[in-house]
Structure 1
Amino acid sequence: MSALTPASSLHHRRDQAWPFWPLVPLYPYGQRPTQRVEVVKDQVWTFEQFQGIFYVVVPIRMTVVRLEPTGLLVYSPVAPTPECIALVRELENRYGPVKYIVMSTVTGIEHKVFVGPFARQFPQAQVYVTPNQWSFPLNLPLPWLGLPRHRTHMLPADSAQAPFSDQVDYALLPPIDLGLGPFGETACFHRASRTLLLTDAIVAIPAEPPAIVQIDPFPLLFHARDTATDPIVDTPENRRKGWQRIALFAFYFRPSTLDVAKTAEMFKEAKQAPVRSRQHYFGLYPFRWRPAWHQSFQALHNHGQLQVAPILQTLIFNRGPQAVLDWAKTVAAWPFERIIPAHLAAPIAATPEQFLAAFEFLYREPAAAANRSLPEADFDLLHQIEALLLSRGISRPRQPAPSVDKK
């Protein structure tokens, strides 16, 4: 592919511009490239962007499904850049207007922040919001958060009452009290394509870096280094290595195979770094990976199988295990063939039985808990965070785990 000319490069940047990035200041800040993928021909599309902090970048995903006889439903909007909106308009021209926008989460600000701006691009669309919304530090009304006042509705508790119930089912995860506010999300099932749409509840972690994060490979290459003095070299091996380390950061914050350099050592190495620009954090690179980090990733990857992210296992779902399991069983009653979560790999070929198995860590029996293949040492920082939140009265204590259902 030939290099962009200065004029076309400027046009490209304008198409990907997201001027409201200071509201949630995540990398890549004011530039948000979008990739559209047709998952099921003429029925389901994903729109992927990426975001992160300290170059720990992961995909964030919106899903669009076609309604009959005409129209579209949008699940969990991403940043409505000119490029993103143009890609949606192309679908509208073929399949009809965006009729419904679903705000699928209660807690995830990285999802909620885009719903209002996205809805303003489609003034005829009705916005349906997962109940029990809250904001911090002030619990503001939804219109104050940018959602259109006269066309924003709470999703009814009974999904049969929703205007799209003839084609899309949904299940509301009952609010899990976390202390500051509840956690909740809405799972949707598009019957025609047998596709399950989720936000954060389930992920599958790919061994190779997703295509969207390879648009800007610098974060991958930044984390592929072993010391600050290593040059940044773009190779497939380094992209893979950087991605796998990013996954460990994203899910554990600090896995057991990661050490942090002492301040004096870090500054000494920074002086020897081949590049010391602001983009390179002035040569500062505190990470020291032990040789076993790759085994840690392989356990997390687990052959790409469905799993609940370690953060949700440790800090969230164990605050209401029975409610989570009841919700998972409701979702597993749908005959889906694939899952599209809002992060990491998608689409994931999966059965309801495989989906339900991902929640077995919530059961009381040791055998069920031991089914978790992740190294317990990698959870150390998450357990420390949990203890700190509990000691300060910020988090609610864990709830008793239910017994294994023998049925």
Structure 2
Amino acid sequence: MEQDWRWDFWYPLPLYPYNLRRTVRTEIVKDQIWAFDQLQGIFYVVVPIRMTVVKLEAGGLVVYAPIAPTAECLKLLRELTTVHGEVKYIILPTASGLEHKVYVAPFARHFQQAQVYVSPSQWSYPLNLPLSWLGFPRDRTHILPQDSSQTPFASEFDYAILEPINLGLGTFEEVAFYHRRSQTLLVTDIVLSIPDSPPAITQLDPYPLLFHAKEDAAHNPEDTPANRIKGWQRIVLFTFYFKPHALETLSLGAAWQNSFGAKERSPKTYFGLYPFQWQDHWRASFENLCRHGQLLVAPILQTLILKRSPQKVRYWVEKVSRWQFTRIVPCHFQAEIKATPAEFKQAFVFLDDQVPNPLPDQDFQLLKAIEHNLIKLKILPK
């Protein structure tokens, strides 16, 4: 079975779980939309990364934001193609998300008849190479036009391109797709919803959840639903804040000393190193961030990216909000979010300096320090 999970081309983006990528398929809208989830992370801070597949009314499938095409993933997808028709279009809806871009070329090689459409402002680092040099099929790769009516799938999809935001080394750009028939909005990174409990894909191997449920190096949490939830909620805080206010980090010397109390000292356990000490109020930080599953723009995007060009973002949000969607499917965290255009707009109130951010300022301290240093080094524009 492990052979079906293998992804031997993990080294361009060496994220956990490296060469073993399990896939979970979930039906979002019966016989119309499916989510394919895998895992990605670092230091056991693991989150779902999602590909969304939509059935065209005339037959055939659209793939939005491909994931690693493992044997298991392809088998689950071909179960759909057998019933609903071949993959006709593959969409790369971002210019900056390497975790999405890296899978498009290998994915397209498994579907030789599919046309590939990418967001306009593609770039690579340290050399800005042509897409064909990055493995994208030269004769099948197209730039998404600004006018969505000029695409072969225009009868079923609208889309809106967020104009590129300059980040110094590159640009941030995202394309939101609206599937009219199911009233579904597809987004990549820009909005999401955080579930209280760990998603199904994270529970196939609970080790990362239990690792972050520890209180110290010597603690060996039992595999219980409560400990899985505890680990998941701490992973969420790591993901969004890097270092939330409720987390203290031990010095390397103290962490090394404590590691001798660990029950297992192996590469899997980082040789017993656990340099984290959580304060009692960490759950309050999670609840403030999660807000009962409300739509959220990730603090990293708020601080480092979107506030660099608020007018572009507001214009794009207004355009997207004209569509009458009833659900949102992002590429991370909660697979299906029941949400309205008004709730979508509300997620961007942080762009207004006159409106207090509902997220506590103290959790943004590290992100603001990163922003300050990147600006000082002239890596990030003011």
Task: Verify: 1:385 aligned to 2:370, yes or no.
Answer: yes
Indicate the residue corresponding to 2:72 in structure 1: 83
Task: Verify: 1:94 aligned to 2:83, yes or no.
Answer: yes
Q: What value does the CA root-mean-square deviation take over the aligned residues?
A: 0.7
Indicate the residue corresponding to 1:116 in structure 2: 105
Deviation at 1:28, TM superposition (A): 0.4
Indicate the residue corresponding to 1:394 in structure 2: 379
Deviation at 1:232, TM superposition (A): 3.6
Give the counterpart of 1:195 among 177, 181, 184: 184
Q: Which amino acid aligns with 2:181?
A: A
Equivalents in 2 of 1:269, 1:385: separation in Å? 29
Structure 2 residue matching 1:294: 3-state secondary structure: helix
Indicate the residue corresponding to 2:271 in structure 1: 282
Structure 2 residue matching 1:285: 3-state secondary structure: coil
Q: TM-score, normalised by structure 2?
A: 0.99
Deviation at 1:69, TM superposition (A): 1.2
CA distances 1:252-304 after superposition (whole Å, capped 9, x unpaired):
00001111112222111111111111100000000010111111111011111
Equivalents in 2 of 1:354, 1:290: separation in Å? 32
Equivalents in 2 of 1:227, 1:123: separation in Å? 51
**% of aligned pairs identical?**
56
Indicate the residue corresponding to 2:120 in structure 1: 131
Indicate the residue corresponding to 1:268 in structure 2: 257
Give the counterpart of 2:340 among 351, 367, 380: 351
Equivalents in 2 of 1:129, 1:148: separation in Å? 12
Structure 2 residue matching 1:22: 3-state secondary structure: coil
Indicate the residue corresponding to 1:3 in structure 2: none
Task: Verify: 1:55 aligned to 2:44, yes or no.
Answer: yes
Equivalents in 2 of 1:363, 1:294: separation in Å? 27
Q: Any stretches of 5+ residues in structure 2 without a counterpart?
A: none
Structure 1 residue matching 2:129: 3-state secondary structure: coil
CA distances 1:55-108 after superposition (whole Å, capped 9, x unpaired):
000000000001021111000000000110111111111111100000011101
Equivalents in 2 of 1:70, 1:117: separation in Å? 24
Q: How does 1:367-386 map to 2 (within 5 A)?
A: 368=355, 370=356, 372-386=357-371
Aligned length: 382
Moved more, 306-315 or 254-263: 254-263
Equivalents in 2 of 1:360, 1:263: separation in Å? 40
Q: Which amino acid aligns with 2:36?
A: F
Equivalents in 1 of 2:259, 2:75: separation in Å? 43
Indicate the residue corresponding to 1:174 in structure 2: 163
Give the counterpart of 2:145 among 156, 161, 164: 156
Q: Which amino acid aligns with 2:116?
A: V
Indicate the residue corresponding to 2:302 in structure 1: 313
Deviation at 1:214, TM superposition (A): 0.5
Equivalents in 2 of 1:264, 1:109: separation in Å? 35
Give the counterpart of 1:224 among 213, 236, 251: 213
Task: Verify: 1:248 aligned to 2:233, yes or no.
Answer: no
Deviation at 1:233, TM superposition (A): 1.9
Structure 2 residue matching 1:264: 3-state secondary structure: helix
Equivalents in 1 of 2:151, 2:375: separation in Å? 38
Indicate the residue corresponding to 2:228 in structure 1: 239
Deviation at 1:231, TM superposition (A): 1.2
Q: Which amino acid aligns with 1:66?
A: K
Equivalents in 2 of 1:88, 1:142: separation in Å? 25
Equivalents in 1 of 2:253, 2:67: separation in Å? 41
Q: Any stretches of 5+ residues in structure 1 without a counterpart?
A: 1-11, 398-407
Equivalents in 1 of 2:323, 2:100: separation in Å? 25
Q: Which amino acid aligns with 2:258?
A: E
Give the counterpart of 2:315 among 326, 330, 340: 326
Q: Which amino acid aligns with 1:285?
A: Y
Q: Which amino acid aligns with 1:16?
A: W
Equivalents in 2 of 1:360, 1:383: separation in Å? 18
Q: Which amino acid aligns with 1:258?
A: L
